[in-house]
Amino acid sequence: MSSSLPKIMGTVALVGAGPGDPGLLTLRGKAMLEAADVVVYDYLANPLLLDFVRASAERIYVGKKGGALNSEHQEKINQVLIASAKAGKRVVRLKGGDPFIFGRGGEEIEALSAESIPFEVVPGVSSAIAVPTYAGIPLTHRKMASSVTIITGHEDPDKKQGPFDWEKLTTGTDTLVFLMAMGNLKAITEKLQLQGKASDTPTALIQWGTYPHQKTVTGTLLSIVDLAKKMGIKPPVVMVVGEVVSLRTQLNWFETRPLFGKRILVTRAKAQAGEFAAQLSNFGAETLVFPTLKIVPPPDLSPLDAAIAGIESYDVLIFTSVNGVSYFRQRLRALKKDLRLLKGLFICAIGPRTAEAIEDWDLRVDAIPTEFKAEGLLALLTARGVAGKRFLIPRALEAREILPESLRDLGGLVDVVPAYQALRPVYKDAELERFFGSGKIDLLTFASASTLRHFVEIVGQERFKRQFKESQLACIGPVTAAAATALGLKVAVVPKDYTFPALTAAIVDYYQNLA
């Protein structure tokens, strides 16, 4: 007699993606994305949120530009959610803003409920609230506005109760917020004025609100249509009508950041790019992460293993990068060794971030040079004496030879062992077009000569000359800058200290001096 297990039903979570800034995603929304098997996402959901999704998860794009989705398209989305859930998948429906604020989330839940599919709704920060805030417009104010109304600029023509009451809108509330209003902007302004709203009522249009390329235009009900045409304002747009718009001149905080409107490329390895990109974003930049290094173990681990086995024979252990610390530590763990093995070694780090990585391991760093490069460390070690001492340098498979060669010239016994290697990632033409086909990049940043070299190799000489002829370069130190100069490139920014906080500060100073 045969038997079969009951089929397990999947679940669907409608998750509000917020208005655009990835930092406005809720913690619950992030957890849902991390656990998802399938993510069905909209045009207005920031693609950066997909970084929270597992590589093995399926991503399904169902967005549509320029207006509300029609019923046929919406039905297809409903069927995708239903079919994925019935296949036992954990599904996230990622929707711009909040799922229940003009997002057709209610219709999708009705479809799931009709099929008895378990669901959850994760609220999101609505663009109706967040976007005006990022434009420096408070929707309420003790002396100006005690009420707010949120209105759709695209009503369903089949709605039974008909269009909303324009007369009550003009007299019954202080601040009006219209979503999806651009298609009907002229009609909206005319109807409001026809029903008694003063023509000089302050009015704002905020395009791509909360994104680094946010654009805000302010005027009056009478002038805003012509201003929108003049400034090239296009969807997605949030429209605000009311006296509170006049407060923008005092409260505009987002668009006044020193790097606002600048598109900056970060070429570090993906696992290491986040902190630097975040530093730039905090100053208002739009950061594009395009890794030109892929950090992996070396092809042969036996030299590193042999060095670890004979670690007691060394006098000095030198780490030249965070990656060197990380992969050396991983190898110790794989060989079932611990910190006791390093007892008595004089431990050096070339820079403060490398030192932090060592100290996170509960090891004390004995020496950090004041100049964060090989030459600085060499001077420090020379002062202590080099001749006759044994040095171990676990580092990248390919790196500058100046430190080990100079130590040998001074009589040191040096073993350089590869702890990791930095490979050049492979990108398809479509990926390159996605990264670089959407507008000018103001600044290219490079943290090493290899990131620079790989970048030029990946994009190709012709594309590099054509696409980046107006882009500026920022290099973390003189070695990287020299590599750029050797390629015939002009470097605009090099910090005095060779750290990422210093590079960020130097970039900010550069643009502030240009202003």
User: Mind telling me the catalytic residues?
Assistant: 42, 64, 180
DSSP secondary-structure letter at 255? T
Rg over alpha carbons for the chain, rounded to the nearest Å, is 29
Residues 6+ apart with CB under 8 A from 38: 57, 58, 59, 60, 84, 89, 90, 91, 92
The helix or strand, by DSSP H or E, that contains position 86, with its residue range, turns out to be helix 71-86
What residue has token string 């005027």? Answer: 219
Q: What is the distance between the alpha carbons of residues 62 and 79, in angstroms, rounded to a whole number?
A: 12
Instruction: Compute the distance between CA of residue 96 and CA of residue 102 in angstroms, rounded to an integer.
Output: 10
Residue type at position 203: T
Q: Strands of 90-95's sheet, edge to edge?
A: 58-61, 38-41, 90-95, 11-16, 119-122
Beta-carbon contacts of 140 under 8 Å, excluding residues fewer than 6 positions away, are 146, 147, 148, 174, 175, 244
* CA neighbor of 276 nearest in space, from 350, 353, 355: 353
Tokens 């089929």 sit on residue: 7
- Three-class SS state of 371: coil
Contact predicate 49/25, CB 8 Å: yes
* 8 Å CB contact between 92 and 120: no
Residue 342's alpha-carbon distances to 11, 330, 332, 347, 378, in angstroms, are 51, 14, 10, 9, 22
Instruction: Please give the Cα distance from 115 to 84 (Å, whole number).
Output: 12
**What is the DSSP code string of 121-189?**
EE----HHHHHHHHTT--S-BTTTBS-EEEEESS--TT-TT-S--HHHHHHH-SEEEEES-GGGHHHHH
Going 48 to 50 to 56 to 61, the CA torsion angle's sign is negative
* Pairing outcome for strands 390-396 and 215-220: unpaired
